[in-house]
A and B are shown apart, each in its own frame.
Chain A
């Protein structure tokens, strides 16, 4: 019998030793159970368990902790970060922190997550992809349920694809250098959070609250859902297709692998070249000669679990045995021309997008948002603020504010007003595009300014008495609208038909006026006017009071 590797020098901790797995009794029952889930569960159950826990944690943060209606009930908002920051996984996506810092040319809090996860990446290369990433885990679930049954191109020659993610990463970072943030469109966790918001998040809102609250399915929704579905459908071509070939976050996570402290090693003495490891690997990390493609390997250890001769181990680079299969970085060397091309296209798209955005009208951003230019550089379109917004007031922009603003949060006041007791969106932004505000400060933060159109407003036209906006503003405590008497044009009235009081009152009415120094642009007035007079009574074609972006805000 060949001697086993000394345990203190290996990282084979995530899978039971073959001897243990074959032991009779409870362990055998456990083995049988794991086998039903599939070979990867049997080979590396601890990894699957960690994946499941991370996915559960992500779902808990997304569906339960980010559910704003319970928090609002207490009358004052409960801090969302009590247990775990809801933006935890967004921080852990290294591309989020790095690209926003480059685009905005300033530090932000997400960089801490980037540093931590890249640091871990030096110890366990790409372990985030194999163990933590909830998008990867969901793709595994899709593969378990659908992909492995109907994979049409199972024998796809994939080596040619393997560097797309590096080209994408280079393009995204080049665009960020040019001052345009594209990472939000393709980074793993923002893609997941956004896709979930528009699918499961809307279903949650519709089922738990009511379907009238679900924002209309507009271009932004369809585009995001299409991308989200594509990410999974790619799994029909090959397992973890997105993670292996496309995901630029994964590409960034591969890079610390160049300095890796630990590595997969295959003992030439033991390997019988059965090919089970190649079959088991989701990440195309094993070469035909059973050596390791180091930048693909996620340290999931499944190959070690399926190896019948225990030829595969995960060891410190310094402790590597002399007789091992040689490795490579990836399936194919990075093509220098393509790489330069993607850098150039990143820079060019940055300039194109910049100049196209300059003339666009400005949207109304959440309270505490940084200046619009910087906002576009910091917002990763994760839609976490949309998820925690009650109403929801915040909805994803389509293409109406230009391509650069696609999927960024915009306050849509005909749908709901920004509640006076809520500052949730300011608490959850992973990159600081929306600065954290206390409730007291949020109530003084100007999002926009209400403006009443006297050509539409019922009292201003003398059509009808109404003070919905005034009542609404007072109830919220802003007191930014006052009712002032105005004179109405009258003419002759037949003698004796009406009382003198009535004739006198015909000539005046109290109409609403905005006090611009007190208005924060919360939109409660606009929502009320729209809801009553436009949507229900159908007396007006649009709300008489409309919140516009603040005039003095930096462009």
Chain B
């Protein structure tokens, strides 16, 4: 099983040391150059041959992390079979990623289905479910099935904040933000090719005001952004609520410079206009 480059890979580590020390060394090496990564993989392999590798999840994981997807694709089913019904969500997700790497989307989807049936116990269950939904979204996005991708992303965004996990709660909002930027990216990609549908669309985004969101009503006429109407209760907007709409109409794009001194307001107008544009160009 070991690849031929094993023979030429030197080891700078005493393999008699226990696994709990070795894994730290391996994590260190994995972050370095290619030669070190190879050394890390070889060390992992040697420890797994010794049988001193904990529950064994690290062998496929390090293979996956080091880019040995083919090898990881072989190791993951063995590992997952061994730890079945222990809620090893991360294993399922890495396996699905490996399969997706080789274009085996159908098979990857089946692995995620398995993961959903094998969730960890509370209070980590919701976090795992949300992660799986996010990955469904990634897969469908790769397969070009945008409605399904959006649906799963939305489910993940709904789930993350409801997680009752005791630690790492600050990561939940980060995960939601990450998915939101994935969604925006999808929208951007299709916007550039989409023909905007005529009509009026409204988007909202929070800015400074403690009473109201910025509300942008965007009018599309003959496929072009023809007018932006901004309703707001900003206290000091330095005319951003007039200047930014002008810039958007001039450039026919939401990628415009902010007004100095009113950055937050400017960005909120752009965000609200983008929300409105998505309605005009997508769905």
A507 to B208, CA, bound (A): 31
* Contact call B87/A530, Cβ cutoff below 8 A: no
Interface flags for B168-182 (1: CB within 8 Å of A; 0: not) read 111111100000000
Number of A-B contacts (CB under 8 A): 114
CB proximity to A under 8 Å, residues B224-283:
232-233, 235-236, 238-239, 260-261, 263-264
CB proximity to A under 8 Å, residues B209-230:
209-212
The listed residue (B89, B120, B167, B211) touching A535 by CB distance below 8 A is: B211
The smallest beta-carbon distance between A223 and chain B, in angstroms, is 25
* Contact call B210/A530, Cβ cutoff below 8 A: yes
* Contact call A496/B169, Cβ cutoff below 8 A: no
* Contact call A419/B236, Cβ cutoff below 8 A: yes
Given A416-B236, A419-B236, A500-B27, also A528-B208 (CB < 8 A): yes
Q: Give the nearest-CB partner of A494 in chain B.
A: B120
* Contact call A494/B170, Cβ cutoff below 8 A: no
* Contact call B236/A459, Cβ cutoff below 8 A: no
A472 to B168, CA, bound (A): 26
A534 to B171, CA, bound (A): 21
Interface flags for B157-170 (1: CB within 8 Å of A; 0: not) read 00000000011111
A419 to B61, CA, bound (A): 52
* Interface majority SS (helix, strand, loop, mixed), chain B: loop
* Contact call A495/B86, Cβ cutoff below 8 A: yes
The smallest beta-carbon distance between A152 and chain B, in angstroms, is 44
A505 to B208, CA, bound (A): 30
A507 to B168, CA, bound (A): 7
The smallest beta-carbon distance between A530 and chain B, in angstroms, is 7
User: Which chain A residues lie closer than 8 Å to B171 at the CB level?
Assistant: 502, 505-506
* Contact call A498/B57, Cβ cutoff below 8 A: no
Interface flags for B44-88 (1: CB within 8 Å of A; 0: not) read 000000000001010001000000000000000000000100111
* Contact call B236/A496, Cβ cutoff below 8 A: no
User: Which chain A residues lie closer than 8 Å to B169 at the CB level?
Assistant: 462-464
Q: Give the nearest-CB partner of A462 in chain B.
A: B170
The smallest beta-carbon distance between A474 and chain B, in angstroms, is 10
CB proximity to B under 8 Å, residues A481-505:
488-491, 493-500, 502-503, 505
* Contact call B238/A72, Cβ cutoff below 8 A: yes
Interface flags for B113-125 (1: CB within 8 Å of A; 0: not) read 0000000110010
A459 to B168, CA, bound (A): 11
The smallest beta-carbon distance between A216 and chain B, in angstroms, is 12
Count chain B residues whose beta carbon lies closer than 8 angstroms to a beta carbon of A: 41
The listed residue (B87, B173, B263) touching A465 by CB distance below 8 A is: B173
* Contact call A464/B173, Cβ cutoff below 8 A: yes
* Contact call A213/B235, Cβ cutoff below 8 A: yes
Q: How large is the interface on A (under 10, 10 to 19, 20 to 34, 35 or more residues)?
A: 35 or more
The listed residue (B121, B206, B236) touching A391 by CB distance below 8 A is: B236
A516 contacts the other chain (Cβ, under 8 Å)? no
B128 contacts the other chain (Cβ, under 8 Å)? yes
CB proximity to B under 8 Å, residues A440-469:
458-459, 462-465
CB proximity to A under 8 Å, residues B88-123:
88-91, 120-121
B202 contacts the other chain (Cβ, under 8 Å)? no
* Contact call A531/B208, Cβ cutoff below 8 A: yes
* Contact call A493/B236, Cβ cutoff below 8 A: no
The smallest beta-carbon distance between B174 and chain A, in angstroms, is 6
User: Which chain B residues lie closer than 8 Å to A491 at the CB level?
Assistant: 166-167
* Contact call B87/A496, Cβ cutoff below 8 A: yes
* Contact call A212/B212, Cβ cutoff below 8 A: yes
User: Which chain B residues lie closer than 8 Å to A494 at the CB level?
Assistant: 86-87, 120-121, 124
* Contact call B167/A488, Cβ cutoff below 8 A: yes
The listed residue (A488, A503, A535) touching B210 by CB distance below 8 A is: A535
A421 contacts the other chain (Cβ, under 8 Å)? yes
B127 contacts the other chain (Cβ, under 8 Å)? yes
A420 to B236, CA, bound (A): 11
* Contact call B87/A505, Cβ cutoff below 8 A: no
The smallest beta-carbon distance between A206 and chain B, in angstroms, is 11
Which residue, of A73, A494, A507, has the highest number of chain B Cβ atoms within 10 A?
A494
User: Which chain B residues lie closer than 8 Å to A391 at the CB level?
Assistant: 235-236
CB proximity to B under 8 Å, residues A394-429:
416, 419-421
The smallest beta-carbon distance between A504 and chain B, in angstroms, is 10
Interface flags for A516-543 (1: CB within 8 Å of B; 0: not) read 0000000000011011101110000000
* Contact call A420/B209, Cβ cutoff below 8 A: no
* Contact call A493/B167, Cβ cutoff below 8 A: yes
The listed residue (B88, B168, B206) touching A490 by CB distance below 8 A is: B168
A499 to B208, CA, bound (A): 36
Please, could you name 13 A-B residue pairs with CB atoms under 8 Å apart, sorted by A? A390-B235, A419-B261, A463-B169, A465-B173, A465-B174, A495-B55, A496-B91, A496-B120, A502-B171, A506-B167, A507-B167, A527-B208, A536-B210
Interface residues of B (CB under 8 A from A): 27, 55, 57, 61, 83, 86-91, 120-121, 124, 127-128, 166-174, 206, 208-212, 232-233, 235-236, 238-239, 260-261, 263-264
What 11 new A-B contacts, CB under 8 Å, besides A212-B209, A459-B170?
A: A73-B238, A73-B239, A391-B235, A391-B236, A465-B174, A494-B87, A494-B121, A496-B89, A503-B168, A505-B168, A534-B210
